[in-house]
Structure 1
Amino acid sequence: MAIRRHPHQIKTMLRKILLSLLGIVLGTVVLFGAALALAQTRVAKDQISGLIESSLEGEQQTAEVEDLSGFLPFDIRIGRFSLADDEGRWLEVDNARVKLAPTPLLRGEVVIEEAGAARVAVQRAPNLPPPPEPPPAPETDEPFSLPAAP
């Protein structure tokens, strides 16, 4: 037995579905806008600077990011950036800027429109620990051969 709905009920149901979809879209836009606005605050930029520093630091390397500014994440400016090891600073960058194209970011792509710095100074090669020894190759009496194609 088929359920018959009155045309008024169908219109009401469609209206509820459309309003729900509109609410989801508007909610997403508002959340994205709020996140974008939050990223422009000094507190957020200081947090992001700290994240950059901690991701670049290691046992024998420290990083400094000073004066992160610009309209994040599309126009990133760093007043001063440096990397140092146990012998001191080996890289200094002043007034760096990276400008990203906004539309590709929404697709998960990074397109750099502009990049530059007022000064980049590489004082010396970094003092890095030696790379670990590669594992020894397995000894075999058989010559190398490619697997058979299916």
Structure 2
Amino acid sequence: MRRVLRWALGLLAILILLPVLLLGGVLVGANTAPGQRLLADLAQRFVPGLTIEGLHGPIPGAPGFARLTMADSQGPWLEVEDARLDLDLRALLSRDLRIEALTARRVALLRLPEAGEPAPEPEPQTTEGGPIPTLPNLPVAVHLERLAVERIEIPRELVAATVEEHGPAPMVPRASLSR
């Protein structure tokens, strides 16, 4: 009887420790240069037109990258340089995705991305919610504490088109958003 109990406890310990060790191994591997290259390659495979160069920092807590580019068939349309995302991972335990800081040295919107195929016409809603659709419920609340971008570049043609449509916006040389 003792032998069976010992064997069952050993099997239970292995079943509990194996996922913990596997997760620890993945996190250690993701924080090495080859692991970060692998993560960047995976992201590029799943997001068409995405290129990530110089992924760095502790993953998952404070990842950053040297350069991110989004492109379509006409070429690049967005460039982000020297960006970093600082997360409070403990907040996830209370179902709260808390982004302590999202920073970048440069964000350049080179042009608008090409439009995809038009979405099919939505069916009219028959519920009492009216014609405005409800937003999906996320499994976590999302909070952004600090957003800091040193330089934002937008082509004059895009700004002029926006001004023609909506009128001029007040110019603020430095903006600071806080709670």
> TM-score interval w.r.t. the shorter chain?
0.5 to 0.7
TM-score with structure 1 setting the length: 0.66
What runs of 5+ residues in structure 2 fail to find an aligned partner?
A: 129-179
| Alignment CA distance shift 1:109-1:25 (3 Å) | farther
Partner of 1:33: 24
What runs of 5+ residues in structure 1 fail to find an aligned partner?
A: 1-8, 139-143
Q: Of the candidates 33, 45, 52, which is equivalent to residue 36 of structure 2?
A: 45
Partner of 1:3: none
Q: Distance in 2 between matches of 1:119 and 1:89?
A: 15
Partner of 1:55: 46
The structure with the largest alpha-carbon Rg is: 1
Q: Distance in 2 between matches of 1:33 and 1:56?
A: 26
Q: Residues 19-71 of structure 1, C-alpha deviation per residue, up to 9 Å, x if partnerless?
A: 776665554543332221111122221121112112220xxxx1111011110
Which aligned segments of 4 or more residues in structure 1 are displaced greater than 4 angstroms? 13-28, 106-109, 144-147
Q: Distance in 2 between matches of 1:96 and 1:54?
A: 21
How far the C-alpha of 1:96 sits from its partner, in A, is 0.8
Partner of 2:176: none
Partner of 2:84: 97
RMSD: 3.3
Partner of 2:103: 116
Q: Distance in 2 between matches of 1:145 and 1:91?
A: 39
TM-score with structure 2 setting the length: 0.56
* Aligned residues between the structures: 128
Q: Percent same amino acid at aligned positions?
A: 31
How far the C-alpha of 1:92 sits from its partner, in A, is 0.2
Partner of 2:171: none
Partner of 2:70: 83
Q: Distance in 1 between matches of 2:55 and 2:104?
A: 14
Q: Distance in 2 between matches of 1:108 and 1:27?
A: 25
Q: Distance in 1 between matches of 2:32 and 2:116?
A: 38
Range with bigger deviation, 87-96 or 97-106: 97-106
Q: Of the candidates 97, 112, 116, which is equivalent to residue 125 of structure 1?
A: 112
How far the C-alpha of 1:145 sits from its partner, in A, is 7.2
| Alignment CA distance shift 1:31-1:54 (3 Å) | closer
Q: Of the candidates 59, 63, 66, which is equivalent to residue 53 of structure 2?
A: 66
Q: Distance in 2 between matches of 1:122 and 1:108?
A: 33
| Alignment CA distance shift 1:103-1:18 (3 Å) | farther
| Alignment CA distance shift 1:24-1:129 (3 Å) | closer
